[in-house]
A and B are shown apart, each in its own frame.
Chain A
């Protein structure tokens, strides 16, 4: 297992920085004010600095860092067009996210003996998930937001890395019972919050981590059957699930009410065509929730479908790179941790992009790293941090091998 993977140089983040320099620069020229030129310099500077400074702390994967800085920059750019103040918030969230990434990476590096921590984190996570059921406020039909003073956040986002950590820890030690209990409780609490999109995501990730660790096809089949049965049950018992499916089948029937979001999303994507209408043009305001769930439609309208396919391939690259990190891991725990995190990010992107393209019913999850939202941003960066932590351990182990080999000669 001493396959050496080529570490990308700083060129890629330079390219990403150039992209945003040009993007924000064009917008600044169009607006013609001095202060609009600030992000054109600030964002590329942050991207370059991050790719230069962060790997000094401990070894990080630069490719993953560049891909994610592209995605977050893209979100900030699209937000900046409709509302510069949102873009500012998002930039701050990215900063917090980077810190969160370092924290979770360090956590992975420091705590190889994880059983105790998994239990503590698991209990904390469940407590967090309970809070919105008790004190939460309802948004878009789901009761998944929590207000603490000026701070409002979604616990179901924060618990994502916790779920990956706990399941990876227990499954690598083949402790089935806590896994089963924890997953079931998480799903139950999410159901109580009526956050069915996130519940679906949790279910899929938990099932796949389970299968990765055990390789038991019967468990996978049972899980899929159970999930299918739950979906049918949910279709018959939740009116808003039925409505989502109806909208998915024919959004045009009631385009002024029920189908409005999806119709506007499809109209925007069609307006963009292959090459897009151009940066800052078009009518992104006409798409409902264009800052969060439907941000991919706004990207497609302005940049075109070909660029949209590029965004998809960035996610695909992210998954592939994380998979290779997971495969290079020396311990089962680390492999599960890295791939579980990648699954969360990848599946979530697939669910929402598939939804706005009308391939699958809309689930109302955010597009990782791109959608506006502090909690979602921090949670995505935490998941990235888990992958980066595993990668840094891999690198150090590899360096250790090389050192030993040198001593041997």
Chain B
């Protein structure tokens, strides 16, 4: 009888604890995702609101007005066409064809669904209609324009498609994000849109492309953190490795690298080395390392919708496993995710949550939301991250494959990548460069993806040059991104 009373008390306490957890979960999820839920396209309240409220302004990190609603109720973007087209994937177009933009994801704030009492008083005094909140972004609008211009300068082929992401890897602030081909939202004609290759698609967030040699960061991290013997042992590269009867790994243009260690293999981007290391590590260790870096994870960020990245689950065939060592087979990721990974290595193993909204203020100037940094996950031990940082330093500054990205007076480190996939039966080549500046006062990571590079070109050429231009801008305007 006494015991039964005790058990009754225990069950009641557990159940009440469940209710406490429920309340905590509700508070957390609404404070985290509430604005995004409200801004969802399926919300009927929003459509009613749009008829009676003047949408708030969008500003960049330096206070430049990016979007504003004038007296006639027309949304006005920046003055020059180049500025407008470099920002269209972040802000959104007038027809709302681009998915998950600031205009759509932040609609809850921009239309000020919940206006506070001071705002109501302010409206009464100023006799204005209902106004939404003003949203300040972490974006540097001029850097976006500069990044788009760098693509135009360096990419000689006709396609001019790709993406670039620039972020502060200590805080997670996205400084710039562009997707090409782009278009001017004030000058949209069917012919232009039809002639461009999927301009509504935000490649920076939605592309799912093999990472190529940039994935060697993950393979190297797997070797270093799992104490694989290969890290210290010399390895002889003969230029090719026969994995099975039908699959042989070749190095770029068939060069044989001779005897090398992990550091030389990384700087020279030796495929044979990383393929054999992946085979040594095995499917499970490779999958675990990739998942530590965010592969196969459901990305749920507050301000951004990013495609999930994939690393093959379970046991792989030797050919697929070997190819995964240098970022081929079925591995895919987005430029945003690669930038997060690079930033995590630069940040001693801690990946920050990417954010685009810096602050939200009501029409009367009262703060509604202010930005705060949040770490997302730990991708590797700090000691492993530091070793990776040195490998990436050599790849750029030690005469490695990424030499073209080096900028004087900055400490640029990074990794090149060249990958291929088939798109509707035709082969597409991708050039990657992902890198960062190691100086503590300018903690910036940059990732560039160039689509449709011609045969014979690599990520070390076009993509690295675009990255160099972006870093040069950052060096010349440090105050704009700090």
Contacts and interface: CB of A to CB of B under 8 A. Distances in A.
Nearest to B44: A286
Given A312-B23, A357-B22, A250 B12 contact: no
B29 A357 contact: yes
Contact of A212 (B11, B27, B48, B298): B11
A305 B30 contact: yes
B37 A266 contact: yes
B37 A212 contact: no
Contacts of A346: 15, 19
Contacts of B45: 267, 271, 282-283, 286
B30 A270 contact: yes
A60 interface: no
A320 to B, nearest CB: 6
A354 interface: yes
A129 interface: no
A271 B4 contact: no
Given A270-B37, A286-B44, A323-B12, A312 B27 contact: no
Contacts of A255: 40-42
A211 B4 contact: no
Given A316-B16, A347-B15, A308 B38 contact: no
Interface stretch (A100-108, A150-158, A184-192, A332-340): A332-340
Interface string A318-339: 0110110011000010011001
A271 B113 contact: yes
Contacts of B25: 354, 357, 359
B369 interface: no
A309 B9 contact: no
A337 to B, nearest CB: 11
Specify the main secondary structure of chain B where it touches its partner: helix
Contact of A323 (B8, B22, B298): B8
A252 interface: yes
B122 interface: no
Residues of B in contact with A, size category: 35 or more
B35 interface: yes
B127 interface: no
A275 B116 CA distance: 11
Interface string B1-23: 10111011101100110111111
Interface in B384-423: none
A67 interface: no
B5 A335 contact: yes
Nearest to A353: B22
Given A271-B45, A335-B8, A347-B15, A309 B37 contact: no
A308 B25 CA distance: 12
A69 interface: no
Interface in B327-383: none
Contacts of A249: 298
A119 B304 CA distance: 60
A312 B20 CA distance: 8
Nearest to A276: B114
Interface in A337-366: 339, 342-343, 346-347, 350, 353-354, 357-359
A58 interface: no
Central interface residue in A267, A326, A354, by most chain B CB within 10 Å: A267
A68 to B, nearest CB: 16
Contact of B16 (A252, A320, A354): A320
B301 interface: no
Given A319-B16, A332-B4, A271 B38 contact: yes
A179 interface: no
A14 B26 CA distance: 30
B15 A350 contact: yes
A249 B37 CA distance: 15
Given A271-B43, A309-B23, A208 B11 contact: yes
A316 B25 CA distance: 16
Interface stretch (A222-230, A256-264, A401-409): A256-264
B175 to A, nearest CB: 28
A271 B44 CA distance: 11
Interface residues of A, number: 51
Contacts of B18: 350
A343 B22 contact: no
A211 B7 contact: yes
A327 to B, nearest CB: 5
B33 interface: yes
Nearest to A266: B37
Contacts of A298: none
Interface in A219-256: 249-250, 252, 255-256
Contacts of B26: 269, 305, 308-309, 357, 359
A343 B298 contact: no
Given A270-B37, A273-B34, A309-B26, A323 B44 contact: no
A218 to B, nearest CB: 15
A215 interface: yes
A315 interface: yes
A279 interface: no
Given A273-B114, A283-B45, A212 B22 contact: no
A213 interface: yes
B40 A263 contact: yes
Given A266-B37, A267-B42, A286-B45, A354 B22 contact: yes
A342 B21 CA distance: 19
Contact of B9 (A208, A266, A323, A358): A323
A354 B29 CA distance: 12
Nearest to A339: B8
A215 B2 CA distance: 11
A313 interface: yes
Contacts of A271: 38, 43, 45, 113
Contacts of A250: 298
A163 B36 CA distance: 43
Contacts of B19: 312-313, 315-316, 319, 346, 350
Contacts of B8: 212, 323, 326-327, 335, 339
Contacts of A359: 21-22, 25-26
Contacts of B41: 255
Given A270-B33, A277-B114, 5 more contacts: A208-B11, A267-B45, A273-B30, A322-B12, A357-B22
Interface of A: 208, 211-213, 215, 249-250, 252, 255-256, 260, 263-264, 266-267, 269-271, 273, 275, 277, 282-283, 286, 305, 308-309, 312-313, 315-316, 319-320, 322-323, 326-327, 332, 335-336, 339, 342-343, 346-347, 350, 353-354, 357-359
Interface of B: 1, 3-5, 7-9, 11-12, 15-16, 18-23, 25-27, 29-30, 33-38, 40-45, 48, 108, 113-114, 298
10 contacts: A215-B4, A256-B42, A267-B38, A267-B42, A269-B37, A271-B113, A305-B26, A343-B15, A357-B29, A359-B25
